[in-house]
Amino acid sequence: MKITGNTILITGGTSGIGLALARALSAKGNRVAITGRDPDKLKRILGENPEWIGYAIDLIRPESVLELATSIQSDLPELNLLINNAGLQFEHSFLEDSQALNRVQPECRVNLEAPIRLTLALLPLLLQSPEAAVVYTTSALGEVPKSSFPVYAASKAGLSAFATALGVQLKDTNLRVMELVPPLTETPLNAHRPARGKMNPDQVAAEFVSSLGRNRRIVRPGKARILHAIHRVSPRLARRIIEAQP
Report how far residue 16's alpha carbon sits from residue 44's, in angstroms, rounded to the nearest whole number: 15
Report how far residue 131's alpha carbon sits from residue 43's, in angstroms, rounded to the nearest whole number: 31
Q: How many domains does the chain have?
A: 1
Task: Name the pTM for this structure.
Answer: 0.94
2 inside domain: no
Q: Which domain holds residue 38?
A: 7-244
What is the distance in angstroms between the CA of the first residue and the CA of the last residue of the chain? 38
1 inside domain: no
Active site residue 136: no
Helix (H) or strand (E) holding 10: strand 7-10
Q: Is residue 16 classed as helix, strand or coil in its secondary structure? A: helix
Q: Is residue 139 classed as helix, strand or coil in its secondary structure? A: coil
162 inside domain: yes
Report how far residue 82's alpha carbon sits from residue 70's, in angstroms, rounded to the nearest whole number: 14
Is 98 a residue whose pLDDT tops 80? no
Mean pLDDT (the chain) is 93
3-state helix, strand, coil in the chain (%, to 5): 50, 15, 35
pLDDT digits (tens, 9 = 90+) for 205-237: 999 999 998 989 999 999 999 999 999 999 999
Report how far residue 207's alpha carbon sits from residue 230's, in angstroms, rounded to the nearest whole number: 20
- Residue 186 pLDDT: 80
- Residue 101 pLDDT: 79
221 touches 178 (CB < 8 A): no
Q: At 41, give phi and psi (nearest 5°).
A: -65, -40
The residue annotated as part of the active site, out of 52, 55, 136, 152, is 152
User: Which of 11-25, 45-59, 86-100, 147-161 has the weakest average pLDDT?
Assistant: 86-100
Q: What is the CATH number of the domain that holds 122?
A: 3.40.50.720
42 inside domain: yes
Report how far residue 20's alpha carbon sits from residue 144's, in angstroms, rounded to the nearest whole number: 25
